[in-house]
Amino acid sequence: MRLNFFNIDFHCISIIFLTLWIGQCSVDVQQAPVGSKPESGPSLCSTPILLGDILVLSFANRYESLAWREYIRGSIIRSRLANSAGDVSKVVPIPAEYLVLDATIRPHLNDGYNWWWTWPAVYPFTGFWPVQRRIADYTITVEYKIMDPHQQVIKNGTVSVQDRSELIIFGFYRTLPLEQMIYRSNLEVVRNWMDALRDDLSRLPACAVHKSDENPSAGRK
């Protein structure tokens, strides 16, 4: 009888330990990508682009991300969208003409397990059963708006990227493949966003003037 009680207590303790361990193996969905080399060629727009509110919304968290802000600022320069990009609260003196870019970034990870395959890793082979099928669906959405110095919205839009990752072996403990998927998706959504901004900016008079200056033969027959 003592042995049976010992076995029950052992499995209870093992399950509690496993639950706590899995809780520590959380996936970072708030990671900002790392900058790359700038593109060559002239910038699309001579009007400076200043970053306003750059918010990251993840579950109940709402915060300003310095890492994301810096990456976005660098992406504008690297993509040759404007000659300069800065922070609307830090640029001194404020230029006579400028555009303000606000953005809300919404990363969402739906992470779960296929328990038909995974349950033996909980009981009776607590933590040792290798088949721990973990499925993660990730979506990142960027909602943005371009404003003039008077806070009037000139352009707005939404860009979104979705991806899925599946782990079969020891999914309880492995987070690197999921974080790599998230990183790739974050890179892709910013690339798509910069493409959307390029299309938006090319339609603005402030940038159209600069384009005609760079192409003096434009409009000539």
The CATH number given to whatever domain includes residue 105 is 3.30.160
Given this model, what pLDDT does residue 221 score? Answer: 38
Domain that holds residue 88: 2-214
| 221 part of a folded domain | no
Residue 220 lies in a domain: no
DSSP-derived secondary structure letter, 206: H
Would you say residue 219 lies in a domain? no
Examine residue 140 and state whether it is found in any structural domain, yes or no: yes
- Residue indicated by tokens 């060629």: 41
Burial of 129 (0-12, 13-18, 19+ CB in 10 A): middle
What residues have CB less than 8 Å from 214, skipping those under 6 apart?
Answer: 42
Task: Give me Rg for the CA atoms of the chain.
Answer: 24
Task: Report pLDDT for 63.
Answer: 60
The domain tally of the chain equals: 1
Residue 46: the pLDDT is: 87
- What local confidence, expressed as pLDDT, does residue 143 receive? 98
Q: How wide is the angle at C-alpha 44 spanned by C-alphas 145 and 215, nearest 5°?
A: 140
Question: Which residues of the chain are under the pLDDT cut of 70?
Answer: 1-31, 35-41, 59-64, 114, 117, 119-121, 124-131, 168-171, 208-221
From residue 11, alpha-carbon distances to 31, 117, 127, 170, 212 in Å are 36, 19, 11, 19, 74
Angle value at C-alpha 187, between 211 and 183, nearest 5 degrees: 170
Q: Does residue 52 belong to any structural domain of this protein?
A: yes
Instruction: Give the pLDDT of residue 213.
Output: 45
Give CA separation, 88 vs 8, 21, 70, 130, in Å.
Answer: 62, 43, 13, 52
What per-residue confidence (pLDDT) applies to 35? 63
Q: Is residue 94 in some structural domain?
A: yes
Q: How far is CA 18 from CA 13, 125, 183, in A?
A: 9, 11, 27
Please tell me the predicted confidence (pLDDT) of residue 39.
61
Q: Note whether residue 98 is domain-resident.
A: yes
Residue 7 lies in a domain: yes
So what's the pLDDT on residue 76? 95
